[in-house]
Chains A and B, each alone.
Chain A
Amino acid sequence: GKWKNKERVLIFSSRGINFRTRHLMQDLRTLMPHSKADTKMDRKDQLFVINEVCEMKNCNKCIFFEAKKKQDLYMWLSNTPQGPSAKFLVQNVHTLAELKMTGNCLRGSRPLLSFDPTFDKEPHYALLKELFIQIFSTPQYHPKSQPFVDHVFTFTVTDERIWFRNYQIIEEDASLVEIGPRFVLNLIKIFQGSFGGPTLYENPHYRSPNMHRRLLRLSVAAKFREKQQVKEVQKIKKKGSKVLMEEDPTEVVFETPAEEKPVEIQLVKPESKPIVKDKKKPRKIQRKKQKKLFRTET
Chain B
Amino acid sequence: QRGLKRCLSEFKRQLAWVERLDVTAGRAADPDSQSAPSKGDVDPENDFQREMSFYRQAQAAVLEALPRLRKLQIPTRRPDDYFAEMAKSDQQMQKIRQKLKSKQEAMERSEKAKQLRAMRKYGKKVQTEILQRRQKEKKNMLNAVKKYQKGLSDKLDFLDEEQASSQGNKKGSANQRIKKGPNAKRRYKNQKFGFGGKKKGSKWNTKESCNDVSSFRSKVAHNKGKAGKGGKKALNKRPGKRTRQKMKNRAR
Contact = CB atoms under 8 A, between A and B. Distances in A.
Interface string A180-212: 000000000010100000101100000000000
A133 B7 contact: no
Contacts, number: 161
B55 A167 contact: yes
A143 interface: no
A168 to B, nearest CB: 9
Q: Is the interface of A mostly helix, strand, loop or mixed?
A: mixed
Q: Is the interface of B mostly helix, strand, loop or mixed?
A: helix
A136 B79 CA distance: 25
B210 interface: no
A137 B22 contact: yes
B142 interface: no
A117 B99 contact: no
Nearest to B100: A102
Interface residues of B, number: 53
26 contacts: A5-B15, A96-B92, A97-B88, A104-B88, A106-B86, A107-B84, A111-B21, A113-B21, A114-B22, A114-B57, A114-B60, A117-B39, A118-B39, A126-B8, A147-B74, A149-B76, A154-B58, A154-B61, A158-B44, A163-B50, A167-B58, A176-B58, A176-B62, A198-B3, A200-B3, A201-B4
Interface of B: 1, 3-5, 7-8, 11-13, 15, 18-26, 28, 39, 42, 44, 50, 53-55, 57-63, 65-66, 69, 74-78, 84-88, 92-93, 95-96, 99-100
Given A116-B24, A126-B8, A140-B18, 4 more contacts: A112-B22, A123-B1, A154-B61, A167-B55
Interface of A: 5, 30-31, 79, 83-84, 96-97, 99, 101-102, 104-108, 110-120, 123-124, 126-127, 129-131, 133-134, 137, 139-140, 146-150, 152, 154, 156-159, 163, 165, 167, 169, 172, 174, 176, 179, 190, 192, 198, 200-201
